Amino acid sequence: MGRPRGTSAAYRYAVGLMSGTSVDGIDAAVIAIRGNLDGSEKPEVRLVAYENTPYSDQVRAEIFAMFDPRQATIDRVGRLNVWLGELFAQAALAIIRKAGLTPGEIAWIGSHGQTIYHAPNPSLVDGLDLRHTVQIGEGAVIAARTEIPCVSDFRVADMAVGGQGAPLVPYTEYLLYREEKRTLLLQNIGGIGNMTVLPQNCRSDEVYAFDTGPGNVLIDGVVTRLTRGAATMDVGGSLARRGQVHAGLLEELMQEPYYEQPIPKSTGRELFNAAYIDRLLEHQARYVLSAEDLVATVTRLTAWTIGEGYRRFVRAQHAADVLIVGGGGSYNPVLMSKLQDEMNAMGVAVMTQEDLGFHSDAKEAVAFALLAGCTLDGVPNNLPRVTGAAHPVVMGKISYSPPERE
């Protein structure tokens, strides 16, 4: 009897797909996995190939339109769900080719999809808690086009048992990063920032995490609006570097109630959205700020939210040794400099995924490949202390590929 698909003598091969709040394209990764994913051991995970496939202007515009519930009609959401499924499938097949593999050598695909709405807090109707979330990029389409089992729609299972449905990456961070003698913080700076706390020699039920607030979402938003779409991000921190942080505006932005909200908590474009960018531009006019000053101020805000999250929710219980930063924000040297100022003052060293030999952009795609492996193995892959769920659950919906042809 031959080996199951996607295995070699030592490894299982899997694909992870991710599209984040920044909507800059589809991150696709092929990983090789050796070992169990149930937390009984530290598995060996090797990144075989990674690639980001940017969205076309048309697709990006349609996704951003879906962030507005007034435009997100059923027909448009349904159409985009299938459209993104096709694009995710293409990205999966492309990264498999880049890895020098064939679809038959891939055991599974894990796809986060694209979040278009996230309402993680209790919403009571007739005594029922109707918290909800919407990720699109149809897993059945991905499975059909690739002929590989696809796991998708992870968040709803956690929310069904009272969780926030986020953050989900911490389980994989526990698998891969935990240490016996150091307390580590893992900070992702995508569209939204999120922090995972791995106390030294921790068990999985001792890990906690939360969304710190805006990552790149405000920086990208004001740059896009100020340049009328000519730029969608502050590449290399060039605008922030030429600007001055406005203390008055910064202090005003620090008063956002989300930052004081107790953990577990999560956020997204339901808060830091186009209307929020409108208010930032109104503040710019009121304070008579240059474009560079506004970008510098929101960049400083992002660094502050990370430091404040650590001060408010972590430091007293688990003084950390190192903050390890991943995500697109780790490539912004101005943001990283401000973050180092924040964390170094509290005795925490700041490193990047690349400093450890990993890949910042690939981290979340790798995570969803691992979470999908847990789904297929029947291993609970949420952390109730992180999400607020009542108990562990196996997250993810499985779409199987067509039967193999003889």
Taking only Cα atoms into account, the Rg of the chain, rounded to an integer number of angstroms, comes to 21
In which band, very low, low, confident or very high, does the pLDDT at 9 lie, cut at 50, 70 and 90?
A: low
CA distance 65 to 99: 34
How would you label 76-93 residue by residue, b for 16+ Cβ within 10 Å and e otherwise? eeeebbebbbebbbbbbb
Is the pLDDT at 2 greater than 50, yes or no?
no
Q: What percent of the chain has pLDDT over 70?
A: 97
Is the pLDDT at 5 greater than 70, yes or no?
no
Predicted local distance difference test score (pLDDT) of residue 3: 41
In which band, very low, low, confident or very high, does the pLDDT at 180 lie, cut at 50, 70 and 90?
A: very high
**Hey, which residues does 192 pair with through a beta bridge?**
214
When the pLDDT of each residue in the chain is averaged and rounded to a whole number, the result is 94
In which band, very low, low, confident or very high, does the pLDDT at 401 lie, cut at 50, 70 and 90?
A: confident
Is the pLDDT at 405 greater than 60, yes or no?
no
In which band, very low, low, confident or very high, does the pLDDT at 10 lie, cut at 50, 70 and 90?
A: confident
CA distance 77 to 80: 5
Is the pLDDT at 4 greater than 70, yes or no?
no
Digit-coded pLDDT (tens) for 255-306: 999 999 999 898 998 899 999 999 999 999 999 999 999 999 999 999 999 9
Predicted local distance difference test score (pLDDT) of residue 358: 87
Digit-coded pLDDT (tens) for 77-111: 999 999 999 999 999 999 999 999 999 999 999 99
Backbone angles phi, psi at 402, to 5 degrees: -60, 155
Question: Quick check: helix, strand or coil at residue 133?
Answer: strand
Digit-coded pLDDT (tens) for 19-47: 988 898 999 999 999 999 999 999 999 99
First to last CA, the chain: 16
In which band, very low, low, confident or very high, does the pLDDT at 7 lie, cut at 50, 70 and 90?
A: low
Is the pLDDT at 231 greater than 50, yes or no?
yes
Is the pLDDT at 309 greater than 60, yes or no?
yes
In contact, 98 and 51? CB cutoff 8 Å = yes
Question: Quick check: helix, strand or coil at residue 73?
Answer: coil
Tokens of 353: 């995924």
Mean pLDDT of 133-162: 97
Mean pLDDT of 211-240: 96
Is the pLDDT at 234 greater than 80, yes or no?
yes
Is the pLDDT at 337 greater than 80, yes or no?
yes
